[in-house]
Amino acid sequence: MGYRKSVRICGRVSCVPAILALSGCMTVATLPDGQPSLMNQPSFQERSQFVISAVPSSGPLTYKPLKSCRYTSSSAQGNVLPHQGHGELTVRRVRDRLQLVDEDSDGKKSSFLLSANGKIYDFNIADDKGSRSTTDNSSAAEFSYMLPEYVPATLKPGDTAATLTTKNGSIAGAYQYRGVVQRNGSPAYLLDMMINVQNNPTYSAVVAGFDVVDARSNLPSLLVMDVGNTKLRFEATCSF
C-alpha cells in the first residue's frame, strides 16, 4: 500500500520540544480513513492496516493497576545515535492515585505518581548517566506523548483524547480518538498523534504518529512516531 494523494506543504510544524521540530516543505499523504499524514512510508502503511470501528469508547479513558507490562522501545533523532531498550512497567494504587514504575533492562527505576486520567503529580526519572530528573528540574510535558492526561469524558471518533503541550504550556498538538481496533487479539483504542501546522492554508494539523491504547489498562500497546529523521517505537505486552 503506497501513499495516497501525496502533496507538498510548506509551513512550520511544532510539537513537544525534544520530540519533534520540523520546518520547510514536507510531503503529506492521505490515510485510508482520510487523515492527512506526515509519517514515513513504513509507519504510514502500518497505521493503514488497522481496521477501525468508528464507535465511541466504552467510557472515559483512565489508567488502571496492572501486574506487569514488558516492553521494547527504540528511538532516533537527527545525528543522535539510535537507542534501543526494553524493560517492565507496573502500576499500583496509592490511596487515590496510581504509581507507575518503569524498570529498564539495566535495573534503573523511574516512577510516576499520577491521577487515574493521567495528570502527573510527581516523577523521578533515571537517565543513562545515572543522574535523575524530578519535578524540580524537568517538565511533565515531555512525557505527555507516552502518558497522556486524558480528557474525563467518553470519546467519539474525532474527539480530542489528550492535549500535547510544550514546556511553556502552549498547545503543540493532540491525540485524536479514531475508534476501536484489534491488537494481539484484544480490543484497543486508536489515537492519532496530531501536530499543529502553522502558516499553512490547507492543514491546521497532521498525523505524526499513532497510539494503540490497550482498552484494559489504557496504556500504550503500540506507540509510533515517525516523521523525517525523528523516530520512536514502543511496544508492550501486559498481564493483569
User: For the residues of 133-179, what is the DSSP string, one character each?
Assistant: EETTTS-GGGGTTTS--B-SS---TT-EEEEEE-TTS-EEEEEEEEE
Residue 231 covered by a domain: yes
Does residue 52 belong to any structural domain of this protein? no
CA atoms lying within 13 Å on the CB side of residue 151: 16
Q: Give the pLDDT score at 51.
A: 97
- Domain membership of residue 35 (yes or no) is no
Within a domain: 53: no
Joined grid coordinates for residue 194: 496530531
Within a domain: 58: no
Query: In total, how many domains does the chain have?
Result: 1
Question: What's the confidence (pLDDT) of residue 15?
Answer: 45
Q: What is the number of other CB atoms lying within 10 angstroms of the CB of residue 117?
A: 17
The CATH number given to whatever domain includes residue 95 is: 2.50.20
Radius of gyration of the chain (CA): 17
Residue 122: count other Cβ atoms within 10 Å of its Cβ.
13
- The answer to whether 87 and 105 have CB atoms below 8 angstroms apart is yes
* pLDDT averaged per 10 residues in sequence order, the chain, 240 residues: 46 44 69 95 97 97 95 84 90 95 88 92 69 50 81 98 82 93 96 87 90 96 90 91
Pair 39, 26: CB distance under 8 Å: no
Domain of 105 in residue numbering reads as 66-239
Instruction: State the cell numbers at 230.
Output: 525523528
Per-residue confidence (pLDDT) for residue 140, from 0 to 100: 60
Rounded Cα distance, 233 and 42, in Å = 12
Q: Is 143:123 a contact under the CB 8 Å cutoff?
A: yes
Give the three-class secondary structure for 202. coil
User: Is 119 a member of any domain?
Assistant: yes
pLDDT on residue 106: 84
| DSSP letter assigned to residue 44 | H
One-letter amino acid identity for 102?
D
Helix (H) or strand (E) holding 187: strand 186-198
Residues 180 and 52: their CA atoms lie apart, in Å, by 6
| Residue 135: inside a domain | yes
Q: What's the confidence (pLDDT) of residue 116?
A: 96
DSSP 4: S
Q: Give residue 18's pLDDT.
A: 37
Cell of 24: 520547510
| CB burial readout 79-109, b (16+ within 10 A) else e | eeeeeeeebebbbeeeeeebbbebebeeeee
- Give CA–CA dist 92/34, Å, rounded: 39
Q: What's the length of the chain?
A: 240
Residue 42 inside a domain? The answer is no
